[in-house]
Structure 1
Amino acid sequence: MTLALAFAIEWWLSHRQLAYVRTHRDAVPDAFKDTISLEAHRKAADYTIDKARLANVDRIVGLVILLLFTLGGGIDVVNRFWAGFELSPLVTGIAVILSTMLLINLFELPISLYQTFVIEERYGFNRNTPKQFITDLLLQTGLSLAIGGPLLALILWIMQSVGNYWWLLAWSIVMGFSILMSWAFPTFIAPLFNKFTPLEDETLKKRIETLLDRCGFQSKGIFVMDGSRRSGHGNAYFTGIGDSKRIVFFDTLINSLNHDELEAVLAHELGHFRRKHVLKMLVASALITLTGFALLGWLSGQDWFYSGLGVSSQSNALALLLFMLIAPVFATFLQPIIAYFQRRHEFEADDFAAYYTRPIYLINALVKLYRDNASTLTPDPLYSAFHYSHPPASIRIANLSAKSS
């Protein structure tokens, strides 16, 4: 029932988005008539529509996969296969979870290929090659096994050995691991996929360092990432915690924006840091994760949890696997709440940027980003309230324009 409701909500919202974007395809919103051409507006609408259609296909594929592996008996088949090797319960559990997740990713691979080499290619964004795509896929899989495998083994061992409140210890370990990865990602993991070079433009670098001093922000450096290696989309972000914090500009963004606009974009990103948005989202994530582990701790001891999802036997590994598969279904109902707070954070970061730089600079940067990334200016209000982590373009620009008056 919950699965059907979640699917119906997502399908209905997608239908609204498609209809709304299509209806407004041939008219640039008044606020953007002087900065966005009708051709660019239509391109963004068509790009949004094509992505939404593919998302619907992905939604159907995901539903079919979930049903096949649960009610269809897929997990039972995988479990019996590994049980035949008569390994220890811990090793068998690890093998069942990892092989099931690998199979699911393989089934979903065609969607990713179509997104990259058909849709992104059609709109001029794809810079990826089949060789690079395969290399990335193998590297991601290898890292998932090398990093996720031991973590999975530790959680299963805790479930098996610690008693009724195992979930509390497991949660603390997962949160500690998340913080560790936030520290390690910019220094050790991200460079495996992209090249990061120190910012060479001395004039821009000096302006950024001045801004950092004014905002009270310290980082390990300002870097340019070769995002154009895979995509024509542009972005900027800061990453890491503690001594590993660094500021990253995509090379595509450096080539698209002038110095004033880049400084404004960076001020926005710094606003997230100064307003403690990262910390707030980490706390929210910790609470949601804790609730999830507590729920898993209870469900793992309920017979109906297994039989109701088409699994004939019971084990810690099967309980964890089933929970991993069905949790996204229930997360659907949290999306509008999470998106609401994310949009609030974006407004606060925009206000921060408007205080430390001129609002018009961020407005100009955002308009260029909407245009260059083919982001629709006319999303369905209800769809955006449910899914968008950033405020719609017209609302965001209006908020910034009010700051400059």
Structure 2
Amino acid sequence: MPITDDLSPSLLLTLAFAAALSLGLVIKLWLASRQIRHVARHRDAVPAPFAERIPLAAHQKAADYTVTKARLGLLEMSLGAAVLLGWTLLGGLDALNQALLGLLGGGMGQQLALLVAFAAIGGLIDLPLSLYQTFVVEERFGFNKMTWRLWLGDAVKGLLVGAVIGLPIAAMILWLMGAAGPLWWLWAWCFWMGFNLLLMVVYPTFIAPLFNKFQPLEDESLKARVTALMQRCGFSAKGLFVMDGSRRSAHANAYFTGFGAAKRVVFYDTLLRQLAPGEVEAVLAHELGHFKHRHIIQRIVTMFALSLAGFALLGWLSTQVWFYTGLGVRPNISLDPAMAAAPNDALALLLFLLVVPVFTFFISPLFSQQSRRHEFQADAYAVAQSSGADLSSALLKLYEDNASTLTPDPVYVKFYYSHPPATERLARMQPTAQP
């Protein structure tokens, strides 16, 4: 690892990181405050296009739910920025690394211990707000169905699955960083992409059933309707399943999971209770629209490209002393020529994962805009393949049942929303479907 007496790159990184973190936090707080004020101002009147379909009480519930979550988000953002600052410039990650070096010495064991300890501490910090979100906010608005026993079971299973899968993955990447030479990042990227593709295949069959029950769709009439739709659209799936989402939440959803021949169509049981058969068909047609327009492939290709760029950048940064010192960490460098320095690979990986989101936050609206464009395309496909009126009705039911506000702040939407607001989506369906 090259060592230089020139501290300017380190200082520049420190200043750039501090500036990006501060500016990002200011923007996030400003956007959240806009959302709170805008939704609260429109709480007392249902927007005209929905006045005959959405009761005032439901509109007010959605407004209150949105505002409550946004206010909690203000606290989460502030805490997140403080924790990030604590890990980096205030020396938290450096102190943890030095403590584990003193306890375990250098080597793979210490590096894995650093990753595990970091994840455990971060999880404990996030735990109170997560529990408050589930057992206070979601409970207050009638969405939480989770019991403490179920929550604890999910937590234990999540930790076990994370350990069984995550530790070998982390060990492999760390080994490649130390043993595969200057192009380790390319080999690590290939391994990471292969793992993600494999996960798309095995997740529906082996991992998801650990947390939810999946039963074959038993409604023969709905099954025939859905099967006919998929045949019209040239789509095949391994099966149609109903998931017991109501065990944890009253929120409704439907999704495709898996990859290639392992694709499955999954309906939340709450969705089937809330929607008529024609509306279920329209929702499924929307999801099929994403496949028809190759949105899933586009997203996978984008993920491949961005992750390749990320691994390449990490490959370079991990060799720069200023990358560590500029973020409050002392790299493991032995001053004794006869002694090998402890590896910095886990440090580099953690610092990269901590810092990159601070800078990429500013381009996130571009990805949100692309996602909203995909949703419009999927809506148009659904209207062409099923009933536009059914899709309109289904969307309104889902907005109402999920307490999604009909009056979000326009600037907040452009920055964060992956799905267009209801007013824009339904307006695009005209004249085929009227809100």
Deviation at 1:401, TM superposition (A): 2.2
- SS of 1:238's partner is strand
For the residues of structure 2 that align with 1:25 and 1:137, how far apart are their CA atoms? 36
Aligned to 1:219: 237
Aligned to 1:139: 157
Matched, 1:394 2:412: no
- SS of 2:373's partner is helix
| 2:321 paired residue among 270, 288, 303 | 303
- SS of 2:405's partner is coil
| 2:208 paired residue among 156, 180, 190 | 190
For the residues of structure 2 that align with 1:352 and 1:64, how far apart are their CA atoms? 45
Please give the per-residue CA displacement for 1:160-215, whole angstroms capped at 9, x wherever unaligned.
11122211111111111111111111111111100000011111111111111111
Aligned to 2:139: 121
For the residues of structure 1 that align with 2:210 and 2:357, how far apart are their CA atoms? 29
For the residues of structure 2 that align with 1:70 and 1:88, how far apart are their CA atoms? 21
Structure 1 portions without partners, runs of 5+? none
- SS of 2:256's partner is strand
Matched, 1:370 2:399: yes
For the residues of structure 1 that align with 2:71 and 2:170, how far apart are their CA atoms? 35
Is the CA contact (8 Å cut-off) linking 2:321 and 2:331 kept in structure 1?
no
- SS of 1:52's partner is helix
For the residues of structure 1 that align with 2:352 and 2:162, how far apart are their CA atoms? 19
Is the CA contact (8 Å cut-off) linking 1:127 and 1:229 kept in structure 2?
yes
- For 1:62, the aligned partner's letter is G
Is the CA contact (8 Å cut-off) linking 2:66 and 2:404 kept in structure 1?
yes
What is the 5 A alignment of 1:144-223? 144-223=162-241
Matched, 1:327 2:350: no
Please give the per-residue CA displacement for 1:206-234, whole angstroms capped at 9, x wherever unaligned.
11111111111111111110000000000
- Give aligned-pair identity as a percent: 51
Is the CA contact (8 Å cut-off) linking 2:31 and 2:411 kept in structure 1?
yes
- For 1:381, the aligned partner's letter is P
Is the CA contact (8 Å cut-off) linking 2:389 and 2:432 kept in structure 1?
no
| 1:316 paired residue among 329, 337, 345 | 345
For the residues of structure 2 that align with 1:277 and 1:114, how far apart are their CA atoms? 35
What is the 5 A alignment of 1:3-402? 3-314=21-332, 315-402=344-431
Structure 2 portions without partners, runs of 5+? 1-18, 333-343
- For 2:399, the aligned partner's letter is Y
For the residues of structure 2 that align with 1:329 and 1:33, how far apart are their CA atoms? 41
Is the CA contact (8 Å cut-off) linking 1:48 and 1:376 kept in structure 2?
yes
Deviation at 1:131, TM superposition (A): 1.1
For the residues of structure 2 that align with 1:186 and 1:402, how far apart are their CA atoms? 38
Deviation at 1:88, TM superposition (A): 4.8
For the residues of structure 2 that align with 1:176 and 1:348, how far apart are their CA atoms? 30
Is the CA contact (8 Å cut-off) linking 2:392 and 2:433 kept in structure 1?
no
For the residues of structure 2 that align with 1:285 and 1:198, how far apart are their CA atoms? 32
For the residues of structure 1 that align with 2:221 and 2:34, how far apart are their CA atoms? 47
Is the CA contact (8 Å cut-off) linking 1:360 and 1:401 kept in structure 2?
no
For the residues of structure 2 that align with 1:139 and 1:325, how far apart are their CA atoms? 26
- SS of 2:215's partner is strand
My pick for the range that moved more, 284-293 or 372-381, is: 284-293
For the residues of structure 2 that align with 1:242 and 1:49, how far apart are their CA atoms? 40
- For 1:312, the aligned partner's letter is R
Please give the per-residue CA displacement for 1:122-154, whole angstroms capped at 9, x wherever unaligned.
000000011111111121121111111111111
- For 2:258, the aligned partner's letter is G
TM-score using structure 2 length: 0.91
Q: Report how many residues are paired.
A: 405
Deviation at 1:399, TM superposition (A): 0.7
* CA RMSD between the two structures: 1.2
For the residues of structure 1 that align with 2:268 and 2:155, how far apart are their CA atoms? 21
For the residues of structure 1 that align with 2:302 and 2:233, how far apart are their CA atoms? 25
For the residues of structure 2 that align with 1:142 and 1:103, how far apart are their CA atoms? 17
- SS of 1:333's partner is helix
Is the CA contact (8 Å cut-off) linking 1:61 and 1:108 kept in structure 2?
no
For the residues of structure 2 that align with 1:55 and 1:404, how far apart are their CA atoms? 35
Deviation at 1:382, TM superposition (A): 0.9
Deviation at 1:72, TM superposition (A): 2.0
Deviation at 1:98, TM superposition (A): 1.7
- For 2:424, the aligned partner's letter is I
TM-score using structure 1 length: 0.98
- For 1:285, the aligned partner's letter is M
Is the CA contact (8 Å cut-off) linking 2:39 and 2:407 kept in structure 1?
yes
- SS of 1:85's partner is helix
Is the CA contact (8 Å cut-off) linking 2:426 and 2:433 kept in structure 1?
no
Is the CA contact (8 Å cut-off) linking 2:89 and 2:327 kept in structure 1?
yes
Larger Rg: 2
- SS of 1:402's partner is coil
Is the CA contact (8 Å cut-off) linking 2:144 and 2:250 kept in structure 1?
yes
